[in-house]
Chains A and B, each alone.
Chain A
Amino acid sequence: MFKKEFSPGAKSKVKSSAQRAIRAKVIETYPLIEPYIDEVLPKKEQLDLVKIPDRVSLYCNGGTPLFWQHMDDPIVPHLQLVHKYPWCFTRVRIDRGGIRFVLSGATLMVPGLTSPGGRLPGGEESEEWANGGKEIEAGDVVVVDAEGKENACLVGVLKMGTKEMKEKKKGPAIENGHYVGDGLWKLDLS
């Protein structure tokens, strides 16, 4: 999605009614975020909307990017927000070998998730990727952690449900996500 670097477009203030709608949408998409919503999207603080290329709207609070949305696709957290509150999102993990492909903007492929270093829902219960044994559906937003790393490297919409991934063990898993070091990551909002 953001392979190239770009400059921010026009910035506007989000009206409080729209701000409420965004809060509701965020909670609906990420139920785990609810207890933290006042920290993440404080009611009294002004939310700004910055237009960025390819019809993406970026919501931010001053210089802090929070969420972005491509047209009517799901609203997706910026990775800096994910790094602060990783437990608010559904997560999977890729093996170490897949990291450099993700960081070069390639499509995340299923084998990176199904290999021994990868993690999908239903694994070891105590691990943060277990998701209570519940599979994740195609179209859902997932945060992608990496083997041996503390911070997530990618966030995006699943192309294939995790159940199907386990059966097929191949094919694209996430296209056009937002990864650390991409144009959105490097965007200067100051």
Chain B
Amino acid sequence: MADTENTPAPATDLKPARKVVYCGVCTLPPEYCEYGGTVKKCQDWLEDHNPTLYAQLYSADAAAQNLSTLSVDAQKRAEKDAQKKAAKASAQEARESEKRATSKIIIKRVERNKRKYVTEISGLEAFGLELKKVAKEFGKKFATGSSVTKTAAGGEEITVQGDVSDDVFDWLTEKYEEIPEENIELVEDKKKKSAA
């Protein structure tokens, strides 16, 4: 047993796993950003986050090399393709921002029983939030039950146990600066009260 200490560790010539940078905009390895519709944004991101790789990929040399191996015809087609993609991406972006400007998030306080409330939050998806994730986060943050529920209209919303309307409002406006406060509405559902 004593000599196990002296036994050399098994020789390993294992290569360390490669560390790959992925684009913060389009998620691809940056060398493939040129094939998405967000090249300009990707390029800016890389310049900020990885200047070395940026210099490598976007130097004049690299660009010239890229094209030299393609026939003139293929270059033209690739260029046209890239333009189409970029146009599509910017149209999509315009649509989304318009949708954002006109969409409303509704935080509704609903009285369940006497002094028992639930909070229903709808409209988050228009701002690109993922309901499942946000519901989970609410649950953790407010230490209460929180889930994605179907609405009568066929959509989905988040239902949180308890009256957390103000907290949800604060959380949204702090965490998502791109959501204007005036697009968030706090309402109260008193239909049960008035019926009583």
Residues of A at the B interface (CB closer than 8 Å) are: 7, 35-36, 39, 80, 83-87, 95-97, 99-100, 103, 117, 147-151, 153, 180-181, 185-186, 188, 190
Q: Which of B35, B66, B130 has most chain A Cβ within 10 Å?
A: B35
B101 at the A interface (CB under 8 A): no
Give bound CA distance, A103 to B39, whole Å: 14
Pull 28 A–B residue pairs with CB atoms less than 8 Å apart, ordered by A: A35-B12, A35-B14, A83-B18, A83-B29, A84-B18, A84-B19, A96-B66, A96-B69, A97-B78, A99-B32, A100-B35, A100-B78, A100-B81, A148-B31, A148-B66, A148-B69, A149-B29, A149-B32, A150-B29, A151-B20, A151-B29, A151-B31, A151-B32, A180-B29, A180-B32, A181-B26, A181-B32, A181-B35
Q: A148-B65, A148-B69, A151-B20 are in contact. Are A36 and B14 (CB under 8 A)?
A: yes
A136 CB to nearest B CB, Å: 23
B70 at the A interface (CB under 8 A): yes
The residues of A that contact B130 with a CB separation of less than 8 Å are: 188
- Against A, the Cβ 8 Å flags (1 = close, 0 = not) of B6-33 are 0000001011011110000011110110
Give bound CA distance, A190 to B17, whole Å: 22
Question: Which residue from A84, A87, A103, A190 sits with its C-beta under 8 Å from B32?
Answer: A103
B82 closest partner in A (C-beta): A100
The residues of B that contact A181 with a CB separation of less than 8 Å are: 26-28, 32, 35-36
Q: A97-B74, A148-B65, A148-B66 are in contact. Are A86 and B18 (CB under 8 A)?
A: yes
B35 closest partner in A (C-beta): A103
B94 CB to nearest A CB, Å: 21
The residues of B that contact A103 with a CB separation of less than 8 Å are: 32, 35
Q: Which of B20, B26, B66, B133 has most chain A Cβ within 10 Å?
A: B20
The residues of A that contact B66 with a CB separation of less than 8 Å are: 96, 148
Question: Which residue from A35, A147, A149 sits with its C-beta under 8 Å from B69?
Answer: A147
Q: A84-B17, A85-B17 are in contact. Are A117 and B26 (CB under 8 A)?
A: no
User: Number of contact residues on B: which range applies?
Assistant: 20 to 34
B44 CB to nearest A CB, Å: 19
Give bound CA distance, A87 to B132, whole Å: 38
A152 closest partner in B (C-beta): B29
The residues of A that contact B70 with a CB separation of less than 8 Å are: 96-97
A117 closest partner in B (C-beta): B69
The residues of B that contact A85 with a CB separation of less than 8 Å are: 17-18
Give bound CA distance, A87 to B27, whole Å: 23
Give bound CA distance, A38 to B138, whole Å: 37
The residues of A that contact B35 with a CB separation of less than 8 Å are: 99-100, 103, 181
B13 closest partner in A (C-beta): A35
Q: Which of B14, B29, B66 has most chain A Cβ within 10 Å?
A: B29
Give bound CA distance, A71 to B20, whole Å: 30
Are B32 and A153 touching (Cβ within 8 A)?
yes
A181 closest partner in B (C-beta): B28
The residues of B that contact A117 with a CB separation of less than 8 Å are: 69
A188 closest partner in B (C-beta): B130
B71 closest partner in A (C-beta): A97
Give bound CA distance, A149 to B65, whole Å: 12
A13 CB to nearest B CB, Å: 19
Are A149 and B31 touching (Cβ within 8 A)?
yes
B139 CB to nearest A CB, Å: 15
9 tightest A-B CB contacts, nearest first: A84-B17, A151-B29, A83-B20, A103-B35, A149-B31, A97-B74, A180-B28, A100-B35, A181-B28
The residues of A that contact B15 with a CB separation of less than 8 Å are: 87
Are B27 and A150 touching (Cβ within 8 A)?
no
Give bound CA distance, A151 to B65, whole Å: 18
